[in-house]
Structure 1
Amino acid sequence: MGGALSRTGLSSGKSKYHSSKSLTGKTVIITGANTGIGFQTAVDLAKRNGRIILACRNDEKGEAAKSRIIQLTGNKSVVFRHLDVSLMSSVRSFADIVRKEEKGVDILINNAAVVNWNEVVTPEGLEETFATNYYGPFLLSKLLIDMLEKSSEGRIVNVGSIASLGGSVDGDTVWVHKGFTRGGYNDSKLALLLFTKELARRTAHTNILVSYVHPGTVTSELFRNLPWILQFIITFVMRPFLKTPLEGAQSILFCALDDAIQTGGYYMDCSLYDHSKWVPNSAYDKELSKKLWRTTERIITEIDSG
């Protein structure tokens, strides 16, 4: 059973997604689920009696989130597994654990993200923003495709951003060798959107539905690496215009649960926004998407080979 929208505010941005869909017997993976919209999404899905895997890089916070969600929902099938999505070695280790422990995966929600004000390079040589927001979700989705194909209705939900509208992507380097710029977040979210479109085309023959969702601008820890003055402006000055984590989670839940989801679709406020003014034209550049895919695979292979 799908769901319906209930308007709890004056704008569609304040919509609440209602669905009676049960996840009994289903397995869900949510990256970055220890806080913010990831946590709120996990709470809702845990209430539906699914097996919820919280994939987080901070072990202490991950275990605390697991305990809290079990306390809130009574669902004891909530587990924490370590995953630093910015490290491809960690992504591979996590995928190996999933393969050993799970019979299949029904829903993968690539939620973890970072915004950096200064350059941070991972031990594997990737710029951290791109590694977290793009490379990690790319590799994790690829590694778990066969697990998702075992599901009668497998889903991959890529949590993106309207910031992709201001992004640009070089299909030859995918930022691995470029100098750091503060527009890297926008670019990483555009890369994730291009990946969503291409993955949807490549899995069109399967039961997997792939979607990209802008949850809205949410009060969360996403901005923790910005200068304090920007954090102050976002937290206090812009607060009336921002969503709470619970409100931001609604569109993610819509993409994870609703029967109306179209594979490859861009969603915002629990609605399909494809070909709207909020979606960059480059999102529909199939050649760029293919080039981006090939380059990303090459770079990840280079990391694996050391």
Structure 2
Amino acid sequence: SSCRNPYLAASKHFVEKDLEVSAAGRVFMITGANSGIGKATALAIAKRGGTVHMVCRNKDKAEEARADIVKETGNKEVYVHVLDLSETKKVWEFAEGFKKKYKTLNVLVNNAGAIMNQREVNAEGLEKSFATNVLGVFILTKSLIPLIEKSLDPRVVSHGVLWGMLVQKLRIGNLQSDRGRFDGTMVYAQHKRQQVVLTEQWAKAHPTIHFSVMHPGWVDTPTVANAMPDFHRSMKASLRSPEQGADTVLWLALSEAATKNPSGRFYQDRRVVPAHLPLAWTHSSPLEEQKLMALLEDMAKTFQPH
């Protein structure tokens, strides 16, 4: 029933023909495309004839997912790139290499995300979930913007998460989560708040690209099951399928309707929603937002290959 699954209630206002579009001749990059929402997104785009670059951490899982997608869609224009977004230097190298090799990228979907149960650091000494969710996304997007910008109908779609993020004020004093107790889900929520800020800032800086960030609703994915087992168990009946979770991603990546909305907004179920609760205390000042961008800019530069 629709009260059990909020997607069914929301989908009543969807316009069917918004997604009755071909993706032929368009090129998409999707991070974390081997399972969950990422895979559902890749499959739906391949079905519509799009070229898909799957950027995944695990080669075997990625190749398996690619084989599934090709078999189901008959579209062979599906490519696997092995990259762990938590490996900061490698993100730069991958993005710079991709620009040399490919001439077009119409849409980047920042789907990969990490929720850590404990604090771990990467080879560069950065906390791993920050490296994946914030700095990795920042570097990948920043490096690919020039390629995206010169492609037709360019877009960048990122995943947010509504829960937790809405009660998180932007904090830039503890980016590495090295102070206080490490709470993986709260850290993740803070990263998503930072991602919303990135999206808003990029939208201002690159007006030709349509940027958006979306919350897929609570979806039954391995990430949720592993990071929040109790929540997953108690909510299982009302969790959405990965296909339902991917709906708004696809709508933002493919539909003409989406680009009628201003760039830089936050979406749920194909609608613009506030990125903040009515409580004003979660709003950050423009100064803090610029400070975050400058911090990431500096941090990214230190790992940039020359």
TM-score (norm 1): 0.88
SS in 2 for 1:213: strand
Give yes or no for contact 1:8–1:14 (8 Å, CA) kept in 2: no
Amino acid at match of 2:65: A
Deviation at 1:279, TM superposition (A): 9.2
Aligned CA distance change for structure 1 residues 266 and 63 (closer, same or farther; 3 Å): same
Select 1:255's aligned residue among 242, 246, 252: 252
Give 1:190's match in structure 2, choosing from 187, 193, 198: 193
Matched AA of 2:210: L
Q: Distance in 1 between matches of 2:166 and 2:86?
A: 23
Query: How far 1:178 sits from its partner (Å)?
Result: 4.2
Q: Any idea what SS the aligned residue of 1:80 has?
A: strand
38-47 vs 215-224, which deviates more? Answer: 215-224
Question: 1:22 — aligned with what?
Answer: 22
Cα-to-partner distance string for 1:216-255 (whole Å, 9 max, x where unaligned): 11111113553xxx41x33332112211111100011111
1:11 is aligned, of 9, 12, 16, to 9
- Quote the Cα distance in structure 2 between the aligned partners of 1:176 and 1:299: 16
After superposition, what is the alpha-carbon deviation per residue over 1:268-306, rounded to whole angstroms, capped at 9, x for unaligned? 01111136637976456322221110011112223448x
Greater CA deviation, 32-41 or 213-222?
A: 213-222
Deviation at residue 96 of structure 1 after TM alignment: 2.6
Which ranges in structure 1 are unaligned for 5 or more consecutive residues?
Answer: 1-6
In the alignment, structure 1 residue 289 sits paired with structure 2 residue 292? no
Structure 1 residues 32-71: aligned runs within 5 Å? 32-71=32-71
Q: CA deviation at 1:181?
A: 2.2
SS in 1 for 2:132: helix
Partner of 2:131: 131
1:280 and 1:138 map into 2 onto residues whose CA distance is 26
Match of 1:146 in 2: 146
> Which position in structure 1 is the counterpart of 2:78?
78
8 Å Cα contact 1:23/1:50 also seen in 2: yes
- Name the residue aligned to 1:169: 170
Instruction: State the secondary structure of the residue aligned to 1:238.
Output: helix
Q: How far did 1:17 drift?
A: 7.0
Q: Which residue of 2 aligns with 1:234?
A: 231
Q: Deviations over 1:11-41 (max 9, x none)?
A: 1168777412211111100000000000000
In structure 2, relative to structure 1, the CA distance for the partners of 1:191 and 1:61 (3 Å cut) is same
CA 1:302–1:280: 2 relative to 1, 3 Å? farther
**Measured at CA, do residues 213 and 79 of structure 1 come closer, stay the same or move farther in structure 2, by a change above 3 Å?**
same
Equivalents in 1 of 2:303, 2:178: separation in Å? 13
- What number of residue pairs does the alignment pair up? 294
What percent of counterpart residues are identical? Answer: 31
Q: Which amino acid aligns with 2:200?
A: K
TM-score by length of 2: 0.88
- Tell whether 2:95 aligns with 1:95: yes
The alpha-carbon deviation at position 121 of structure 1 amounts to: 1.0
Q: Is the 8 A contact 2:31 2:55 kept in 1?
A: yes
Q: Structure 2 CA distance, aligned partners of 1:245 and 1:48? A: 18
Which residue of structure 2 lines up, in the alignment, with residue 222 of structure 1? 223
User: Does structure 2 retain, via aligned residues, the 8 Å contact 1:174–1:292?
Assistant: no
1:4 corresponding residue in structure 2: none
The more displaced of 38-47 and 275-284 is 275-284
> Which whole-Å CA distance do the structure 1 matches of 2:14 and 2:60 have between them?
31
Counterpart CA distance in 2 for 1:141 and 1:17 is: 30
Equivalents in 2 of 1:144, 1:254: separation in Å? 22
Aligned partner of residue 132 in structure 1, secondary structure: helix
| Residue identity in the other structure for 2:206 | T
SS in 2 for 1:144: helix
Asked if the contact 2:113–2:132 (Cα under 8 Å) also holds between the matched residues in 1, the reply is yes
Alignment partner, residue 210 of structure 2? 209
Aligned partners of 2:167 and 2:193: how far apart in 1?
8
Please say if residues 34 and 56 of structure 1, whose CA atoms lie closer than 8 Å, have aligned partners that are also in contact. Answer: yes
Runs (5+) with no aligned partner, structure 2: none
> 1:127–1:180: 8 Å Cα contact kept in structure 2?
no
